[in-house]
Chains A and B, each alone.
Chain A
C-alpha cells in the first residue's frame, strides 16, 4: 500500500481554484455579466437613439 500523500498547508491556493471553488461567486458572475452586457448596455443604447431632426438637417452617414 502506498502512503497517503500529506497535503502541504503552506502551499498557496491558485487564484483559478479559489474562483472555481466559490460557487456563489460563480452564480453572481453568471447573472451579473449578462445583465450588464445585454440588459444595461442594451437599454443605454436604446436610450441614446436621438429624436428625428427636421429632414433638411439630416446628414449623410449620420
Chain B
C-alpha cells in the first residue's frame, strides 16, 4: 500500500453535528456579550458616569476644601461631611483611606465626584455591590440618589498595597 497524497482541496462544507455546535457556541457568545450592556442598565451595579481628566494634586485640594466647608464631625480621625442636599459630593481614594465619611439624605440627588490621588483603587459600595474602578488623573462624576437609609461600607476592591484590606470608608444615609 502507498501513502495517499493529501487532497488538494480539503475545504468541505460543514456537516451536521458541527453546524449545531458552531451555532450553539455562537449563540452563547452573543448572549454573554449583549448581557454586558443590558446588565449595565438592569443590574444597577456599574453606573453610567461622566469621566474627565484632572490633576491629582488639584483634585486633592478641592476635596480638602470641600470637606473643611461641610464638616459636621469626625469618626476615627476621618472627617464626617454633610453636604447640602442636591449639591456636590467629593470622595477621595488614597492609600489606605476613603476620605471623607459622607452623610447624605435619602431621596436627594447628589453629584458625586470620585477620584484617587495616588494609585488605582476600586470603589465597592456594600452591601449594594455597586463597583467601579477609581483611577488617578481621572475624575468620575455620577448622579446618586440614596434610596435606603442606613450605614454603608465603602471597600477598596482593587489591590493597592499592604493596607488594602484596611481601606474601608463609610456612607451614612438618613
A interface residue numbers (CB < 8 A to B)? 1, 4-5, 7-9, 11, 13-14, 16-17, 49-53, 55, 58, 60-62
In the complex, whether B128 has a CB less than 8 A from a CB of chain A is no
Given the interface pairs A4-B4, A49-B53, the reply to whether A17 lies near B111 with Cβ below 8 Å is no
Given the interface pairs A49-B138, A51-B52, A58-B50, the reply to whether A11 lies near B143 with Cβ below 8 Å is no
Instruction: Count residues of B near A (Cβ-Cβ below 8 Å).
Output: 21
In the complex, whether B61 has a CB less than 8 A from a CB of chain A is no
| Complexed CA–CA distance, A34 and B49 (Å) | 27
> In the complex, what's the smallest C-beta–C-beta distance from B91 to chain A, in angstroms?
15
Closest B residue to A17 using CB positions? B11
- Indicate if the CB atoms of A11 and B8 lie closer than 8 Å: yes
Residue among A49, A53, A60 with the most chain B CB within 10 A? A49
Q: How many A-B residue pairs have CB under 8 A?
A: 46
- Indicate if the CB atoms of A49 and B9 lie closer than 8 Å: no
- Indicate if the CB atoms of B11 and A62 lie closer than 8 Å: no
Contacts of B1 in A (CB 8 A): 1
Contacts of A8 in B (CB 8 A): 8
Q: What are 23 A-B residue pairs whose CB atoms fall within 8 Å in the complex?
A: A1-B1, A4-B2, A7-B5, A7-B8, A11-B8, A11-B9, A13-B8, A13-B9, A13-B11, A14-B9, A49-B51, A49-B52, A50-B52, A51-B52, A52-B52, A52-B53, A52-B139, A53-B52, A58-B50, A58-B111, A58-B141, A61-B50, A62-B50
Contacts of A11 in B (CB 8 A): 8-9
> In the complex, what's the smallest C-beta–C-beta distance from A16 to chain B, in angstroms?
5
Contacts of B5 in A (CB 8 A): 4, 7
B5-30 CB contact bits vs A (8 Å, 1 = yes)?
10111110000000000000000000
Sorted nearest first, the 3 A-B pairs with minimum C-beta distance are A62-B50, A52-B52, A17-B11
A51-B52, A61-B50, A62-B50 given. 11 additional CB < 8 A pairs?
A4-B2, A4-B4, A13-B8, A14-B11, A17-B11, A49-B53, A50-B52, A53-B52, A58-B50, A58-B111, A62-B141
Contacts of B88 in A (CB 8 A): 55
